[in-house]
Amino acid sequence: MEPSQVTIIGSGLIGRSWAMVFAAGGFKVKLYDIAQQQLTSALENIRKQMKELEESGFLKGTLSAEQQLALISICTDLKAAVEGATFIQECTPENLELKKKIFGQLDLIVGNTVILSSSTSCLLPSKLFTGLKHVKQCIVSHPDMGNGGCRRQAALEDTVKTRSVEFDIPEKVKAKVVKPLAQVNPPYFVPLVEIVPHPETDPSTIESTYALMKKIGQSPVKLNRETEGFVLNRLQYAVISEAWRLVGEGVISPTDLDLVMSDGLGMRYAFIGPLETMHLNAEGISNYCERYREGMRLVLNTFGPVPEFSGEIEQKINQAMSEKIPVVPKVLDARRKRRDEYLTGLAKLKKQMKSD
Ligand code: NAI
């Protein structure tokens, strides 16, 4: 039987990642971009990554790297790219107007069964999809790598001006401004996907997207409704805020703060979430609340306001972090490589422990 086809719109970091994950799942992948050069370098990069993953025994799926590569094709014609697709994953720069334009174009050319999905990190479905004829088929599937977060629209527009090839940037300059890729493909090792519906998304779109993500080995979670920052970034920001306040109030040094997470809380959170942790740390949740309710409320009531993330505290944290890891491309890249190696090792461990 002919494998199902998915189309990826935008072949940057995330588009490439999705292409690899879908090919590993045995899907035919059409990769679309407005820039031929982006597509060519995407294919080269995917080939390199797949070969490396295969050599190190980390290639996902049952097919060889060559077989997976044979499933991926590139295309600069939108209509041809979406023809025959059952699922379309949009991965263009994080800019509302640009994404609305793309979904508007897709709305005119797709049929009534294909799912239109966006990788957006923080643009709400109600902003992206309202008014589309095929709104019932629209959804956000946000791959959560915890790398970045939500940025203000103004900052995003700057990014688009400097990083996207949508605008009038000369070919020579484009090659330089597109950001370098991480060596390891993040969704390979951080499988979470937040599925966020528009208020008018059909329940079958949510269920099919969820099932598809499971099928390709990702770890989907369903949000019942949209909320600013979705869930991962809300949790991440809660932790960052308190970290900022504790360092700002001089309670702990920046490096020790990080250790509290990496050698403390984080040890269990890679396997067990905060709610199950509560459940296990007492005789169930109700018993935990009975024991710790008052204490938790007492501590939580001492939390300060939302930090400004600027000024003296920023300088203090920046100085400490820069002493440990100088902000020099070579050093930062080496450290990112190390971070990706940690993730790879952790993914391997999680897989082993689950199969026990
Ligand atoms: P990127 O800048 O690496 O890639 C964007 C790609 O879109 C480029 O190849 C560009 O040529 C292409 N493009 C621009 N205009 C287009 C158009 N009109 N039609 C088709 N392609 C077009 O961006 P990245 O990092 O891959 O992000 C893509 C999306 O994924 C964004 O919405 C981002 O917020 C989201 N995301 C990013 C994460 C990250 O860590 N980078 C994590 C999770 C989600």
Question: What is the complex's ipTM, to 2 decimals?
Answer: 0.99
Task: Find out whether the beta carbon of 156 lies less than 6 Å from any atom of ligand 1.
Answer: no
Task: Find out whether the beta carbon of 106 lies less than 6 Å from any atom of ligand 1.
Answer: no
Q: How far apart are CA 292 and CA 166, in angstroms?
A: 53
Structure tokens at 216: 């390709």
pLDDT for 45 equals: 95
Of all protein residues, the one whose alpha carbon is nearest to atom 17 of ligand 1 is: 34
Q: How far apart are CA 117 and CA 87, in angstroms?
A: 7
pLDDT for 2 equals: 72
pLDDT for 149 equals: 60
Task: Find out whether the beta carbon of 164 lies less than 6 Å from any atom of ligand 1.
Answer: yes
pLDDT for 151 equals: 62
Mutate to test the pocket of ligand 1, among 16, 39, 121 (most ligand atoms within 8 A of CB): 121
pLDDT for 351 equals: 84
Which pTM does this prediction carry? Answer: 0.90
Give the chain's residues under pLDDT 70.
Answer: 1, 145-187, 355-356
Domains of the chain: 5-229 (3.40.50.720), 234-324 (1.10.1040.10)
pLDDT for 152 equals: 53
pLDDT for 231 equals: 96
Distance 16 CA to ligand 1 centre (A): 10
Distance 11 CA to ligand 1 centre (A): 7
Distance 13 CA to ligand 1 centre (A): 7
Percent of the chain with pLDDT over 90: 79
Distance 268 CA to ligand 1 centre (A): 32
